[in-house]
Amino acid sequence: MGKRRTAHHNHNACVRDALAAARALCGAKLTPLRRRVLELIWASHRPIGAYAILEALGRERGRAAPPTVYRTLAFLTEHGLAHRIAMANAYVGCVHPEAAGHASQFLLCADCGEAVELDDRRIARAVASEARRKGFAVLSQSLEVRGRCPACAGDRADVG
């Protein structure tokens, strides 16, 4: 299993921006536990499952209760700080949390597990307008596209 990082980017800056946005959006509601879970989610751009979060918290703080972790994840997704990736049954940090409740589109690498969030209003608008044509009232929309990231696709090309 590949454990590559997204090529050439300063991930510390991703984490710093995400935590700053969370502080700005949530204020005092960003409790130490919520903040720590958000940090765990932002450990990489690969979605992390609730069980892995539970394990990490258990190592740090002694036993963490599953309902606490699920409530924390619900808080983070409801406030637009993280998205649940249904395909991976896992969570990933949102790259533009100021647009809470926005339609999300993700490219998911089948090899290394990385998730790249797109931010293209045209896609959301196209889906919404087709839904409207069918008389369907959209409550929320998320799109998950499975494939191979440039690094993994490149590796395959190398081996022929």
Residue ranges binding Zn ion (CB under 5 A): 11, 14, 94, 104, 109, 111-112, 149, 152
| Smallest separation, CB 51 to Zn ion (Å) | 22
User: 112 or 124: whose CB is closer to Zn ion?
Assistant: 112
Q: What single DSSP character describes residue 6?
A: P
| Smallest separation, CB 112 to Zn ion (Å) | 3
Name which of 32, 147, 153, 45 is nearest 95 in CA terms.
45
User: 64 or 115: whose CB is closer to Zn ion?
Assistant: 115
User: 28 or 139: whose CB is closer to Zn ion?
Assistant: 139
| Smallest separation, CB 28 to Zn ion (Å) | 23
What gap in Å lies between CA 92 and CA 115, rounded to an integer? 8
| Smallest separation, CB 96 to Zn ion (Å) | 6
User: 66 or 147: whose CB is closer to Zn ion?
Assistant: 147
Name which of 92, 88, 80 is nearest 14 in CA terms.
92
Contact 86, 144 (CB under 8 A): yes
Name which of 147, 111, 104 is nearest 127 in CA terms.
104
